[in-house]
Each structure stands twice: as structure tokens, then as C-alpha cells.
Amino acid sequence: MSEPLETTLKRLYGLIPRGKELGLERMEAACAKLGNPERSFAAVHVAGTNGKGTVSAFLASIGRAQGKTVGLYTSPHLIRFAERIQINGAPLEDDALVRLLNRVMDEAPDLTFFETTTLAAFLAFQEAKVELAVLEVGLGGRLDATNVIPPPRVAVITRVAFDHMDELGDSLSKIATEKAGIIKKGSTVVVGKLHPDARDVVERRVAQVGAHLVALGSPEPIPGAALAYPRFAMFGSNLAVAVTAAQELGVPPRTIADGIEAAQWPGRNELLHRSGQELTLLDCAHNPDGTVALSHVLDPSILGEIESRRDVALVFGALKRKSWKAMVRRLDQVAAHKIFVAPPLSADKVVDPAEMAAAFSGTVAKDVAEALSTARARVGQSGLVVVTGSIYLVGAARALLLNLPADPPVDM
């Protein structure tokens, strides 16, 4: 990391104590002050409890396959902050990131961490003359900083499940109400498979504002797409949502196929091979709904390399605010060996690995490197190590496994 970027990020991270402060008034005023960059591009807006980052990555890749200049905004980052703001598949250059973040902090000093980052992304997309911006909601949707954009070309709601209940509500209807807040007049709305309570909320919002609803069915076949079976199985539902959204954007089937084949979304059902044989699966599942999907992936009928749960070692860590017991309980069905480690954050934010190990008869590792080596020793070169539970843990593991430089983690 360059010294100017390190200094800028320290300044930005200093905004974190302000909290999330959900609401649009500050963001709307700041956008107006800086010339409303959010109006300079067409957008696809993606919300959902799980899968929204994956769907965003697929849609950005499909847009690039069309020959468009595409911006992608996601959060949080895995390894480097610049991953959050991408143009044509490349993270924003350090000098541009420093300049734009400082401009926002100078001219709109009352914004929160996420609002500042979001407005910097809008400015970057405006400067790059982005034709299509794919924007992942940070939290919820209705009051999220990304929701200052005009009506998007397509609004997407991937799934609605229990997460962030203290901020979004304690029922699926309440959570769906927050996510449905991205639906605006004239937009097409693509939704994944939703619980009836959530579906009712979305349908009412669509009728209220005058949008057009497209419920996920079976997307048309993608001619000629050479999709490797494990990858397709892992991304099946999210891929179907992305394909449906792309069809609503009028993208031809061959172009959709090209975009899917070229898509990269690290740390999400990502299989890493090392030494020609060692297999590690990285997945950012961080709530019970996510671990249910992951457990299906780990079924031997899906992941053909693995013969039984005896060949699977779980490396797991979680934040205190997450339902970690339900997550481990589900993964215990598919992984015989469990190594617990704290994600690389302050101790007051993470579940004590000793507490997890006592509850689920596991092993405690002092750090991520030890957790990975212990897990590999349990299953040998031909077994599978699964790293999950926290995006911060997955990011640290990926940096170690691939020897990548990493920024300090930020708990948002």
C-alpha cells in the first residue's frame, strides 16, 4: 500500500465510530454539492441477504462482455480496499482512490464511512464515463447510501433471510420491506426465490410505485456456455438471478454466456488448488442461510472430489453479532474436523474460538495460518479444507494461500 493511500484510509477509518446512521438526507445533500455524479450512469441495483455480491459480479462481467464501460461497487472488501470500486474489472488505482476519497471527506465531512466510500465510487464512475454501474447495497436498501440513485434499469433482490435483525427488523416481512426500498417507479424488478411473507412485501411495493416484477423461474438456456460443473452447481441460484436480470436488460444469450465464463468473484465458493492436489474452498457465508447453501455444495454428489465428511476440515470464525451456533451446527453435518480461529479483528468483535471449540468438539488455532495448516494436516493432501464464517477470515486466508498483499481489515 502506498503511503498516501495508507494515510487516506486511516482518515477514512476514523469515520467508523460514527456508525452506519442509516438515512438518505446527508447523502442526497452531499451528492448535490458535488454535482450529482449518481445521475451520470445507468444502474443495476442489487439487494439481498445473501448472493448480492455474486450476482453483481456476474452482471458486471456480462456488461463488459457487451463492450460497455462498467463500474462495480461492492462491500466489504476481501483483501484490499480498492476492490470495492472497480472499473472494467480492475480495482480503482491508488492515486484516483486517494484523490476521490479526500475530495469527499473535504467537501462533505459529515458523511459516514460507507457514505463517503459510496460517493467516491459515484465520482469515479462519472470520471470514467461508466455506461453501466452495478451497485451492491451495503445494508438493507431503503435507507442505504446507494439508494440515492435515480430509478435503476433493473433492481434485483436475491434472497431475504435473517441477518442484521437489530437494524433491519426481526421478521422476514420487516427485512423485505427494507430491501424492497430500492424498487422505484418504472424499474424492472428481478427477484430470486422468496419466502411468501417476503414475496408479498415485494409485490405490494411493485404495485405501489409502478414497477415491473419478474419473478425468477428457469432462465432460458445459455447456448455454448462452457460452464464447469462444480462452478455451475455452486452458483446455480445466483447465476439464475443474474441471467434473468441480464435478459431483462436485453443482453443477447451469447453475450450472457461470454460474461458468465469470464466472471471472477474471489472468496465466494472459490476452489483453490495448490501443489497440484491440495484443495481449499473459500466461501464468505456469514449467516445460517449462507451456510445452508454451502452445505449443499459440500455434498459429495456435488463436489465430486470429496468422498465423505471425514475428508473435510472446517476452518471457522465469526463475529459476535452473527448466529454462529446455527452456522456450525449445519456445517458439522458435512465436515468431520473443525478448527476454530478468530477473524483478524479486535477481540471484542469476534467469537472466542475456545467457546466455539468447547461447544462443537473442535480445535483452537492461535491465528489463521495455524488454522490452515492444522486443517490440512487433518485431511491430508487429497482432502478438502473449507474456510468460512466471516468475510474477514476468508480474506485473510486467501491472502495467505495466494501470498497476496493485504490492507488492514475493517469491521463494517
pTM for this one?
0.89
Which of the residue ranges 101-115, 150-164, 187-201, 270-284 has the most confident prediction, judged by mean pLDDT?
Answer: 101-115
Helix (H, G, I), strand (E, B) or coil at 106: helix
Res. 306 pLDDT band, cuts 50 70 90: low
Band (pLDDT 50/70/90 cuts) for residue 316 is very high
Give CA separation, 58 vs 27, 225, 232, 332, in Å: 28, 14, 12, 30
Percent above pLDDT 90 for the chain: 69
Amino acid at 160: V
pLDDT in the model for residue 406 = 84
What's the pLDDT score for residue 224?
Answer: 44
Residue 227's pLDDT is what?
47
Distance of alpha carbon 184 from alpha carbon 193, whole angstroms: 20
Residue 278: strand, helix, or coil: strand
- 229: pLDDT strictly greater than 50: no
Q: Report the percent of the chain where pLDDT is more than 70.
A: 88
Lay out the sheet containing 384-388: strands in order across: 270-274, 278-282, 384-388, 312-316, 337-340, 363-364
Q: pLDDT category, 292, cuts 50, 70, 90?
A: confident
- pLDDT score of 131 more than 90: yes
246 φ/ψ angles, rounded to the nearest 5 degrees: -65, -40
361 phi and psi, to 5 degrees?
Answer: 50, 55
Q: Compute the half-sphere exposure of residue 219: CA atoms within 13 Å on the CB side of its CA.
A: 25
Query: Are 280 and 385 a contacting pair, CB within 8 Å?
Result: yes
Question: At 50, which amino acid appears?
Answer: N
Between CA 200 and CA 121, with CA 152 as vertex, the angle to 5 degrees is 120
Phi, psi at 113, each rounded to 5°: -55, -55
**Which CATH topology does 3-262 take?**
UDP-N-acetylmuramoyl-L-alanine:D-glutamate ligase (3.40.1190)
Which of 238-252, 323-337, 363-377 ranks highest by mean pLDDT?
363-377
Q: What's the pLDDT tens digit per position in 339-390?
A: 999 999 889 999 999 999 999 999 999 999 999 999 999 999 889 999 999 9
pLDDT value, residue 20: 66
C-alpha cell belonging to residue 388: 468460512
Residue bearing the bigger pLDDT, 287 or 378:
378
Q: What is the pLDDT of residue 275?
A: 64
Please tell me the predicted confidence (pLDDT) of residue 303. 60
Dist. CA 80–CA 409, nearest whole Å: 9
270-402 has which fold?
Answer: Protein-Tyrosine Phosphatase; Chain A (3.90.190)
Annotate 33-88 with three-state secondary structure: HCCCHHHCCEEEEEECCCCHHHHHHHHHHHHHHCCCCEEEECCCCCCCHHHHEEEC
Residue 321 has pLDDT above 70, yes or no: yes
Higher pLDDT, 155 or 286: 155
pLDDT-based confidence at residue 228 (cuts at 50, 70, 90): very low
Q: To which residue does cell 491472502 refer?
A: 399
The whole-chain average pLDDT of the chain stands at 89
Confidence bin at 120 (pLDDT 50/70/90): very high
How much is the average pLDDT of 233-259? Answer: 88
- Helices (H), strands (E): how many in the chain? 16, 14
> Which residues touch 330 (CB under 8 Å, ≥6 apart)?
288, 291, 292, 295
Q: Are 147 and 137 in contact (CB under 8 A)?
A: yes
The domains of the chain are located at 3-262, 270-402
pLDDT interval class at 225 (50, 70, 90) = very low
In whole angstroms, give the CA distance from residue 75 to residue 56. Answer: 11
Q: Summarize pLDDT for 27-80 with one digit per residue, the tens.
A: 999 999 999 999 999 999 999 988 899 999 999 999 999 999 999 999 999 999
Query: d(Cα 248, Cα 1) in Å, to the nearest integer?
Result: 40
SS3 201: helix
**Segment 93-103 mean pLDDT:** 97
Which residue do the cell numbers 450529482 mark?
Answer: 36
